[in-house]
Amino acid sequence: MSSDTRAAGTETKGAVELTAAMVLSGTLGVFVIESGASPFNVVFFRCLFGAAALGLYCLVRGFFKNHGFTPKKLGLAALGGAFIVFNWAFLFESYEGTSISVATVVYHTQPFYVVLLGALLFRDKLTATKFGWLGIAFVGLILVAGVSASDLTGGGDSAYLQGLGYALLAAVFYAASTVITKRVTGVRPHLVALVQVVLGIFLLLPFTTLSETKDLGADWGWLVGLGLIHTCVMYVLMYSAYQKLPTPKIAVLAFVYPAVAMLMDWAVYGHSVSLLQALGIPLIVAASLGINLGWSFKGRPAAATAAKPAVQEPAAAAPAAEEPGDAATAAESKIEIKSGGTR
């Protein structure tokens, strides 16, 4: 078998893995709502069951040997984890005030806040092209939000506005985690994710009402699924796929997540977006691809500019190679494309 054939087979496997991961991610909202638990309870048990499953996986794979953590890296992973778990809580809270569809699309503006935070905190260069994509994304966000003047003057649905605020806050928290955790290099992403969910158990315990769980009954299955499926299995698939795929394919396949989420919201709950809201979705998609792939408004091929932004902006829990080190750092460069990353 030629090297080209093997490479094509590897890339195909990566595409299947990432597509499967994004489909699972798109069902997240249904699991959250069907569990019947409060958002903080949902996140607490997602962390609890996810930590157990992910920890067992790391143990079986031998990832705890030569883990690559130093006190500084562990501290950064933990700080990023604090933002991640509260990002989940705010995202799940936003489902109640808006819908899975609207919340997911608004949440998918995370890459733009990564760019802004990078410029604010680390003086990353914010070019005119990036400003242009941010402007397009903002217009798309306004359309998707569907907020009217009466909403802003108190005559609209306050719960809906609150839900939009939670979705935006969740996106900002995710971006903060990305900016912080991308400094954790040479550590397998499974271990970074494990640190985050273990920390989440202790961070969220004060906000969790355990007495509510006595009436969950069969709904426990949804919470267990969030830990096993949407944390362990989904992460394993994503981290495996990122090492096999080029940046453009990761960027495109990432949008399977919001597409499936909107489909599930319509199929299960009958929710759909309005025509005006639908007009904003392609703007956000185009802006996200433009930011992540380094597209220019001057008509230069995307391939000529894609590499630099992708390397500059790795995501919260980036994929590592089989051994920590330079190869792991190279693999990390692909992660930021999947907005929504550690969901």
Please write the tens of the pLDDT for every residue from 274-315: 888 888 889 988 888 888 778 887 755 444 443 333 333 333
In the predicted structure, residue 149 carries a pLDDT above the cut 70: no
Q: What is the mean pLDDT of the chain?
A: 81
Instruction: With residue 181 as reference, give the H or E element that holds it.
Output: helix 158-181
- Range among 30-34, 62-66, 96-100, 216-220 rated most confident: 30-34
Question: Is residue 343 one of the residues assigned to a domain?
Answer: no
Question: Is residue 112 one of the residues assigned to a domain?
Answer: yes
Scan for tokens 């380094």, then name that residue.
294
Angle between helices 100-107 and 128-145 (to 10 degrees): 170
Question: Is residue 197 one of the residues assigned to a domain?
Answer: yes
Question: Is residue 253 one of the residues assigned to a domain?
Answer: yes
pLDDT band at 331 (very low <50, low <70, confident <90, very high): very low
Q: What's the longest Cα–Cα distance across the chain?
A: 67
Instruction: Give the residue-averaged pLDDT of 139-160.
Output: 70
Question: Is residue 342 one of the residues assigned to a domain?
Answer: no
Lowest mean pLDDT among 223-232, 242-251, 252-261: 242-251
b/e burial code for range 260-275 (CB count within 10 A of at least 16 → b): bbbebbeeeeeeebee
Question: Is residue 22 one of the residues assigned to a domain?
Answer: yes
Structural domain of 243: 3-337
In the predicted structure, residue 3 carries a pLDDT above the cut 70: no
In the predicted structure, residue 178 carries a pLDDT above the cut 80: yes
More confident position, 341 or 264: 264
Report the number of distinct structural domains present in the chain: 1
Q: Does the model's pTM come out above 0.95?
A: no
User: Looking at residue 339, what DSSP letter applies?
Assistant: T
Q: What pLDDT is attached to residue 141?
A: 87
Contact status, residue 284 vs residue 340, Cβ threshold 8 Å:
no
Q: Which of 107, 86, 116, 89 is nearest to 164 (CA)?
A: 107
Question: Is residue 136 one of the residues assigned to a domain?
Answer: yes
Distance of alpha carbon 251 from alpha carbon 241, whole angstroms: 12
Contact status, residue 335 vs residue 341, Cβ threshold 8 Å:
yes
Instruction: Give the residue-averaged pLDDT of 104-121.
Output: 87
CA neighbours within 13 Å on the CB side: how many for 156? 18
Lowest mean pLDDT among 168-172, 197-201, 209-213: 209-213
Scan for tokens 């031998």, then name that residue.
62
Q: What pLDDT is attached to residue 328?
A: 35
Torsion-angle region of residue 233: left (phi > 0), alpha (psi -120 to 50) or beta?
A: alpha
User: Looking at residue 233, what DSSP letter applies?
Assistant: I
Q: What pLDDT is attached to residue 155?
A: 53
Question: Is residue 55 one of the residues assigned to a domain?
Answer: yes
Contact status, residue 47 vs residue 281, Cβ threshold 8 Å:
no
Instruction: Say how many C-beta atoms besides its own lie within 10 A of residue 47's C-beta.
Output: 27
pLDDT band at 1 (very low <50, low <70, confident <90, very high): low
Helices then strands, counting H and E runs in the chain, come out as 18, 0
pLDDT band at 343 (very low <50, low <70, confident <90, very high): low
In the predicted structure, residue 125 carries a pLDDT above the cut 50: yes
Distance of alpha carbon 15 from alpha carbon 117, whole angstroms: 30
Instruction: Say how many C-beta atoms besides its own lie within 10 A of residue 182's C-beta.
Output: 24
Angle between helices 275-293 and 128-145 (to 10 degrees): 160
Q: What pLDDT is attached to residue 26?
A: 93
